[in-house]
Amino acid sequence: MNRRYFLSAALAAVAAPVAAAPFFSRRLLDRPRVLSFRHLHTDELIDVTYRIGDIYQRAALQRLNYFFRDFRTGDVTNMDPRLFDILYDLKLRLGDTHASFDVISGYRSPKTNSRLRKASSGVAKNSLHLWGQAIDVRFPDYSTRRLRDAAIALGRGGVGYYRRSDFVHLDTGSVRTWGA
């Protein structure tokens, strides 16, 4: 075996795993991202592939926009797709890829938000719910405390913990936390 052949073989052996890494990582990233929800106020269910690889699925996002409508007024807005990414990553962090989120609140119209503010001091005047950037959820079979802790560990967006009302608020705003 000559020196050139030996160096080529050694280089190929070292480079093969490095060259293959993007392929395998890309395959993981290209997996369809599926989310399931049950809306506690409308009793509607949805199971949707909202993203494949880096591409959000337009029809799926439209279905999700309607699902997360203001159930009090029927108003619909475009939900921030990054919110779905947070929920998906949260589901993976909890290790339960088939469970469905229970939804308490998604989009809130200005009329609904104003009415809720009058009834409770816990409703922000400029709530991210108004912009389709927030959701209040539970995750069956997990305590809301565990859900909160997993969301905080993601380090993305706002995480509010409402122990008495038994839900976690998630949003795509700046990283911050509140609640006991």
**Per-position pLDDT tens, the chain of length 180:** 555 554 455 555 555 554 545 544 455 567 899 999 999 999 999 999 999 999 999 999 999 999 999 999 999 999 999 999 999 999 999 998 788 999 999 999 999 999 988 888 778 888 999 999 999 999 988 999 999 999 999 999 999 999 999 999 999 999 999 996
Give the model's pLDDT for residue 132: 97
Listed residue (39, 40, 179) closest to 122, CA to CA: 179
Q: Are residues 79 and 106 in contact, defined by beta-carbon separation less than 8 angstroms?
A: yes
Listed residue (35, 37, 38, 30) closest to 48, CA to CA: 35
Give the model's pLDDT for residue 140: 87
DSSP assignment, residue 130?
A: G
| CA dihedral sign, ordered 110, 171, 135, 164 | negative
Phi, psi dihedrals of residue 10, rounded to the nearest 5°:
-65, -45
In this structure, which amino acid lies at residue 28? L
Domain ranges of the chain: 1-30, 31-178
Give the model's pLDDT for residue 6: 46
Spell out the residues 6+ positions from residue 22 whose beta carbon is closer than 8 angstroms to its own.
Answer: none
- The CATH T-level fold of domain 31-178 is Muramoyl-pentapeptide Carboxypeptidase; domain 2 (3.30.1380)
Listed residue (81, 57, 58) closest to 68, CA to CA: 81
Give the model's pLDDT for residue 23: 43
Phi, psi dihedrals of residue 150, rounded to the nearest 5°:
-65, -40
Tell me the CA distances in angstroms from 36 to 45, 96, 109, 114, one per residue in order: 7, 12, 23, 29
Tell me the CA distances in angstroms from 30 to 27, 52, 56, one per residue in order: 5, 6, 11
Give the model's pLDDT for residue 24: 41
- 45-52 and 32-39 strand pairing: antiparallel
Give the model's pLDDT for residue 129: 96
Nearest-angstrom CA–CA distance, 93 and 97: 9
